[in-house]
Amino acid sequence: MKKLFNIIFFIAFGFMLVSCEKDTGVIIPESKLKVIESSVLFEQPGGTGFIKVEAEGAITAIPGQDWITVTTSGTTVNVTVGANEGMGGRNGHVTIKSGNEQVNVTVMQSPSLFYLVDYNGSLEFPLLGGTLSVNYENRNVPISLTTSQSWVTAVKGADGTINITVDPSAAKRTATVTITALFADGQKSIFTVPISQEMVYEDIIGDYKVTYSTSTSNTNPTRTLNVSLIKGTLANTYLLKGFLADESAGEIVMSYNSATKTVSLLGQIIGQTSLGYDFWLLPYAVSGSSAYTSRTTTYGLVSVFDTTGTNITFKMVSNNVWTTYTYIGFILRNYNSSGSNMGNVTNKDGQSNFYINITFTKQ
């Protein structure tokens, strides 16, 4: 009941206040100066807009900020603003007067933006190095470029690009490029571009010096060959040229594993001789005084890369697919269609049938 009483009391009190108001008899005249249409919201580059007013007399217009300029034509005010080179948006106004009346109209402009175009968040380079470009928008903003490592250089191009160059390497490495845009209002926009450099299939293609031993008892490499690895006919494969004394019988194939970043040289039939024999590159293992080979295409050698040098260098070691023995190299041998051993084949230096403890160094 008390709550209901309070509600009734406040309603009645409100009516009393209304009934006590006095009519002053003062009439506020309607303004003769009115804005009837305007277009004064500007994008960053600027431009010209307008304000149309209704007025009984002549009008004058005064810009409230120095970045706004105005001209009048009858009852239209033309508003012009230049490019906003500041990182923040800006607001201003134009004061329009006619007789004793005036009206303020707000002028707004979008901020200056600096951003990278078609950029996925990082740049990836092969070990061979090279140059990649990053495109950016807003070429009127001054930019500075810094790199975290001396093997990376970054240069501003004339066409809205930043050209980033990485030197060749023998091993995986990372760096960053920092792009700083300095706006006219003193604010900065900073982008950090991660740089990574690691092996890809194409890095392995090229000329090499191969060192190896022809002795299973002295595995110190004492022989050298100049060879080439060229693109193979199948995906992620290479053809090894210059490894054999006679390559007319066929070609040795090596493969690249993009997941492990390794190169493999496995047992394989190189081709057929003029006598119809299968010409094999056989994985070769030694255990004590015993030697072991296997006509298989899964056993063989895989690369271990030297990451300390300046040239791509990799030693071929056992891929450990055959867990009983560790392969140390290869032997060249012919087999007939019945699988009988038809004799070893002399390697390119004419000294032996073996390639033991093989290392490739890119030239």
233 and 297 both lie in a single domain: yes
267 and 348 both lie in a single domain: yes
- Which residues, 6+ apart, have CB-to-CB distance to 139 below 8 Å? 160
Residues with pLDDT less than 70, the chain: 1-28
Q: Which long-range contacts (CB under 8 A, 24 or more apart) does 190-193 make?
A: 191/116, 193/116, 193/119, 193/122, 193/123, 193/134, 193/164
What pLDDT shows up at residue 27?
66
What pLDDT shows up at residue 287?
85
What pLDDT shows up at residue 351?
76
103 and 124 both lie in a single domain: no
% residues pLDDT > 90 (the chain)? 76
Domain count, the chain: 3
268 and 287 both lie in a single domain: yes
What pLDDT shows up at residue 12?
41
Q: Exposure pattern of 186-221 as b/e (b: 16+ CB <10 Å)?
A: eeebebebebebebebebbebebebbbbbebeebeb
358 and 321 both lie in a single domain: yes
- Show the domain range for 186: 115-198
- Has this prediction a pTM greater than 0.85? no
223 and 162 both lie in a single domain: no
102 and 56 both lie in a single domain: yes
What pLDDT shows up at residue 246?
86
